Every structure is written in structure tokens, then in C-alpha cells.
């Protein structure tokens, strides 16, 4: 398949420090680069940052095209990604002004000042008071989002037409500590089509004394962004990388997992640790597969070993067919106790928006790495791929971190040899839904071998997230191992700048 290699830069905007501010990916295209919109959207989804900016050269050294994509859609204006794009273009310049031509926001100029600051000129979005019926809807949605009523003091909306027609400002009680307010962003989908929800109030005393005039947080669940970090349009072997830095890197990438592979001096042995955006985890299948691809991409048949903190030694082999085969410890599940099963049914009813779907609940064996894994088998007549799931409801069954929802495949997949399907949710680990979860299949394999009463044999599975993935598994009961097989493809490579 032909491919186009695109250079990219990830920039943290509205900050002087790496791993703070708001990250955006910036891709600079040549004037004649023809990257389809569908491909741009897939790239935005792949980066999974609040925005990916596509800058296009025009032939004029000071004029560029600019478009912005979230993980789910193109947006009409984005401040932090414009700042990030300007940084890429003006990094080595002194004082200079450039112009971005946009589809909906007109011409945006950005100047690099004598002090090095980047100054953007945006169209003003003068808000107007929201009509009473909308205010009532906002108060209802806000009560659900904040978990308490009567915080909303004022509601204002952007002017008609792009780029601010779907922006809304919610001014809450000035006594509320906005930085610590827990917000269920998905509740704001009830006030569609407002896609950019700006919650603001007066600064706390400590910030007011520093000259801060107001504070805000911004939520965009309708465009695939639970919370936007900072929103300009609304205002080797001896590497000793500290854990805190690893965690910041995991947050920066904002992927379900970031894997850190450490050389050991043995060409076939490596250290391996996995970090989500909020925590280190005890095992991760897809990030192990990704790590193996990075190490074995150009190899023929070869086996390597990863030494982990909690999951023991994991071996990965590249087979003659090019498949990567991982040997993971088997997580043979046990039926959940009755009281826990009752709690799961309650949480699942809230998550699925309907009762009576749960058929079976099983939990992982005691001890790492599967002690906080749970399998929820649902009615086989449910179309799992299209089931709407409010994953935050699964936090009610803490400490279970990895919630594996599974059932029998629909007829079309069964005809293709698929034995079972699944989706995986990890809200406690900062992952609403994990696209494809290798470690979950180390429990699903023995579970379905027993459920199907077919004895240990290779099974074909499909994870039905929006991205989707195919997994082959084989439970070797006598060895207490599950073989997990899959393909992997390199999507991007880059260099990370880390302060030391």
C-alpha cells in the first residue's frame, strides 16, 4: 500500500514548561500535498490530542492555510493549535508576522514580538445572554455535570455564525474552587449543539493577588474532548527517567498507554513499564505488542523477553508469517460473589441505560496483574458494537480498574470464525474505552474456553471499539499461559524533548 510520510511536531501551548499547557500536533504540508479530509481526521484520531493542526504552504512565505481536527471532527477555530502552529513556523525568527487563511474564521494574524511572545489576532466573540429556556436546560445539565445544584450564576452564548455559534459560557458561583470541581463532561451533551462549554468564575484569592482576573475550564464532549487543557479561542540502558516524568509523558501523549522500554545489555532482554495518562498499570497487552514491533520491525523470526515489575517475564516472538505472538500469564477468572454481582448489575444498568443485560460476572485471580480485572458477560442478543456505554458509571465498582464487557459474536462475525467479542472500559485509569486490550484477552481466553465447553484451542476474537481490532488467543492451561497473537503497524515516529 502506498504511503505518505508526514513530519509532525507536538507543541505545548500557553506555557513555558514542557508537559503543561495544552498540547497540539502540528503537521506542515507542502502547497501541492493532497491529504484527503478523511486521512486528516484519522491522523487527528491517532494523535488523540485535543487538536491536530494542518498547516499548508501557499507560495507566499508569510501566508499559510490552517485547519484544525479533534479526534472526532474538524473544528471552526482553535486558539492553542494556532499558537502551536505559529511556534513551529516562527521558532527561529525574531520579530515577524504571518497570516493563516482559515475556512470559517477568516484570516488570522500572528506576530512574534520583541519579547518572544506570540500575539494572535482573533475575531471577537462577544457573548449575549442566553434565552430563559436554554438557561433552564443549562442549569439541569450543569447539576448533572457538577453533582450539585444551584452553582450556575449566568449563561451566555456566542454570536450567530462561525466560528463562535456553538460556544457557551457558564459563570458559576465565585466561591467555588473551579480547579478542584469534579465535572462529568458527558452531561453537557444535553445542551447540544453547544460544543464548546466554557465554565468560568472569579479567581481564588491566591491567584487574584497575582493579577489574575478570571479563571476557566473548557469541556467539549460533542467534539471528542472531555476537557481541553488550555483553550486559546476561549481566552537508552543508563537512562534514569524519573517516574514523575514518565507519568507526565503519558499524560502528554494522552494515549491509552505509553510504554517505556529499557535496554539491559542483553540484546534480547528489555525492561518494560506502561503508563496511562493518569497512572502506571501492571500489564498492558497492546503496548507490549507495540513495543515488540518497535524492536522487531526489521527482524525475521526472533524472540525477545520483557522484564516487568508485576507481570513477570513476558516473551514475544515474531513468527514466520510476521505475526507477533505474546506469552502472557493466564488470568483464569472466578465467578464474582453475589453481593459484588449485585453492585455490578446496578452500575451496568446505569452505564448501559437499561437493566437486565448482565448474564454473568467474573473477576480476575488475586494478586497482580489481574486482581482488578472484571468480566461482565451480557445478553448475546445485544449488539455490543453499537451499545452506548457511559463508562464513568463503572467507577462505582472500584477497585476494579479494567471492565471487560463481552458476549457472543453477531451472526456476521460468527460466520467469519469469530468466537467472542468484547469492549473494555477503564475510567479509573483515565481511559473511557480502550481500543484493543491484549491483557484482557488473557482472561477472556480461559473464560470463553469454559463457556463454550470446547477445550483449550486457538480462538479468534474481535474487540468492538470504534477503532476495532482482531486478536488470536490460545490458553495453554498446563503452562498457565495464554498466547496472544496479533498484527501491528508503525503509524508515527518522533523525538520527545524532555527537561533534565
Would you say 436 and 467 are in contact if contact means Cβ atoms under 8 Å apart? yes
Cβ–Cβ < 8 Å for 265, 237: yes
* Cβ-defined contacts of 58-61 (< 8 Å, 24+): 58/31, 58/101, 59/31
Query: How far is residue 465 from each of residues 43, 388, 468, measured CA to CA in Å?
Result: 17, 11, 5
Other residues' Cβ atoms within 10 Å of the Cβ of residue 354: 12
Distances (CA, A) of 141 to 200, 335, 420, 429: 16, 38, 37, 25
Burial 380-401 (b: 16+ CB within 10 A, else e): eebebbebebbbbbbeebeebb
486, 438 in Cβ contact below 8 A?
Answer: yes
Cβ-proximal residues to 452 (8 Å cutoff; 6+ apart), any chain: 419
Check if the beta carbon of residue 74 is closer than 8 Å to that of residue 41: yes
Determine the straight-line distance between the first and last CA of the chain, rounded to whole angstroms.
41
Cα–Cα distance for residue pair 232/227, rounded to 1 Å: 14
DSSP code of 30? P
Nearest to 203, CA basis, from 189, 222, 217: 217
Please spell the DSSP secondary structure of 450-467, one letter per residue: HHHT--S--EEEEE-SSS
Residue 51 near residue 40, CB atoms below 8 Å: no
How far apart are alpha carbons 443 and 484 in whole angstroms?
A: 11
Contacts of 210 (CB under 8 A, 6+ apart): none
Task: Point out the catalytic residue in the list 74, 252, 257, 325.
Answer: 257
Q: How far apart are CA 206 and CA 203, in angstroms?
A: 8
Cα Rg of the chain (Å, integer): 24
The strand pair at 128-129 and 152-157 is best described as antiparallel
Reduced to 3 states (helix: H, G, I; strand: E, B; else coil), residue 86 is: helix
Q: Count the neighbouring beta carbons within 10 Å of the beta carbon of residue 242.
A: 9
- Per the annotation, the verdict on 393 as an active-site residue is no
Buried b (16+ CB within 10 A) or exposed e, 281-316: bbbbbbbbbbbbbebbeeeeeeebbbbbeebeebbb
Q: Please tell me whether residue 322 adopts helix, strand or coil conformation.
A: coil
- Mind telling me the catalytic residues? 257
Amino acid at each position: 500500500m502506498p504511503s505518505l510520510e508526514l513530519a509532525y511536531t507536538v507543541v505545548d501551548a500557553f506555557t513555558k514548561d514542557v508537559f503543561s499547557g495544552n498540547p497540539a500536533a502540528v503537521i506542515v504540508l507542502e502547497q501541492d500535498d493532497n491529504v484527503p479530509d478523511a486521512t486528516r481526521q484519522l491522523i487527528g484520531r491517532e494523535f488523540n490530542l485535543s487538536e491536530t493542526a494542518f498547516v499548508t504552504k501557499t507560495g507566499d512565505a508569510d501566508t499559510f492555510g490552517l485547519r484544525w481536527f479533534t479526534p472526532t471532527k474538524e473544528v471552526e477555530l482553535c486558539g492553542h493549535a494556532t499558537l502551536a502552529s505559529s511556534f513551529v513556523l516562527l521558532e527561529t525568527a525574531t520579530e515577524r508576522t504571518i497570516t493563516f487563511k482559515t475556512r470559517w474564521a477568516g484570516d488570522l494574524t500572528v506576530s512574534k514580538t520583541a519579547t518572544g511572545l506570540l500575539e494572535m489576532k482573533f475575531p471577537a466573540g462577544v457573548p449575549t445572554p442566553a434565552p430563559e429556556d436554554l438557561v433552564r436546560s443549562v442549569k439541569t445539565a450543569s447539576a448533572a455535570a457538577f453533582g450539585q445544584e444551584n452553582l450556575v450564576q449566568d449563561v451566555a452564548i456566542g454570536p450567530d455564525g462561525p466560528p463562535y455559534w456553538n460556544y457557551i459560557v457558564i459563570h458559576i458561583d465565585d466561591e467555588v474552587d473551579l480547579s478542584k470541581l469534579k465535572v462529568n463532561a458527558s452531561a453537557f451533551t444535553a445542551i447540544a449543539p453547544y460544543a464548546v462549554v466554557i465554565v468560568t468564575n472569579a479567581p481564588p484569592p491566591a491567584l487574584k493577588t497575582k493579577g489574575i482576573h478570571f479563571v476557566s475550564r473548557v469541556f467539549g464532549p460533542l467534539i471528542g474532548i472531555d476537557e481541553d487543557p488550555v483553550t486559546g479561542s476561549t481566552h537508552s540502558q543508563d537512562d534514569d527517567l524519573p517516574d514523575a516524568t514518565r507519568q507526565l509523558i503519558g499524560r502528554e501523549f494522552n494515549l491509552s498507554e505509553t510504554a517505556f522500554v529499557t535496554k539491559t545489555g542483553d540484546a534480547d532482554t528489555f525492561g518494560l513499564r506502561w503508563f496511562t495518562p493518569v497512572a502506571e498499570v501492571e500489564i498492558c497487552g497492546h503496548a507490549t505488542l507495540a513495543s515488540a514491533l518497535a524492536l522487531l520491525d526489521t527482524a525475521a523470526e526472533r524472540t525477545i523477553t520483557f522484564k516487568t515489575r508485576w507481570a513477570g517475564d513476558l516473551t514475544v516472538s515474531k513468527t514466520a508469517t510476521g505475526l507477533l505472538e505474546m506469552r502472557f500469564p493466564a488470568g483464569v477468572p472466578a465467578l464474582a460473589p453475589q453481593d459484588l454481582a449485585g453492585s455490578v448489575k446496578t452500575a451496568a444498568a446505569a452505564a448501559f441505560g437499561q437493566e437486565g443485560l448482565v448474564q454473568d460476572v467474573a473477576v480476575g485471580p488475586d494478586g497482580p496483574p489481574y486482581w482488578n480485572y472484571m468480566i461482565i458477560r451480557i445478553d448475546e442478543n445485544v449488539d455490543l458494537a453499537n451499545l452506548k456505554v457511559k463508562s464513568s458509571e463503572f467507577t462505582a465498582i472500584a477497585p476494579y480498574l479494567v471492565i471487560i464487557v463481552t458476549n457472543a459474536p453477531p451472526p456476521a462475525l460468527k460466520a467469519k470464525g469469530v468466537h467472542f467479542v468484547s469492549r473494555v472500559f477503564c475510567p479509573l485509569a483515565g481511559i473511557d474505552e480502550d481500543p484493543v486490550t491484549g491483557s484482557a484477552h488473557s482472561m477472556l481466553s480461559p473464560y470463553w474456553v469454559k463457556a463454550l465447553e470446547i477445550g483449550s484451542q486457538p480462538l479468534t476474537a474481535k474487540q468492538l471499539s470504534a477503532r476495532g481490532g482482531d486478536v488470536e488467543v490460545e490458553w495453554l492451561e498446563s503452562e498457565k499461559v495464554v498466547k496472544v497473537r496479533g498484527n501491528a503497524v508503525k503509524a508515527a515516529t518522533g523525538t520527545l524533548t524532555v527537561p533534565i
